[in-house]
Amino acid sequence: MNVNIKSNAAASNGGQVISDTSSTSGTWFRIDALADTVFTTLTGNVSNIGSTTLKAGQSLHGSFTVIELSSGAVVAYNSNQ
């Protein structure tokens, strides 16, 4: 699988790979899909995600505090907060 993730200076705060179905808490500003991903729960300021599939290589930008996956894998980038 080739995934092109663009560099972003704001990502210098690090991040976390999430690839299981456990609920994970944190403070993130961007989520990049490493594989086609479906969220069970995505708490933040982006609404109506529901069972929408985030395709590998796609990103969500916003303010997120809880991520729970139904399937797939993501990198969640830590916010400055």
Give the angle subtended at the CA of 7 by the CAs of 29 and 63, to the nearest 5°: 5
Q: Rounded CA gap, 66 and 27, in Å?
A: 8
> What is the β-pairing status of strands 59-78 and 24-44?
antiparallel
Could you identify the residue written with the tokens 């991040």? 15
Per-residue pLDDT of the chain (81 residues; tens, 9 = 90+): 555 555 555 567 899 999 999 999 999 999 999 999 999 999 999 888 777 899 999 999 999 999 999 999 999 999 986
- pLDDT at residue number 78: 95
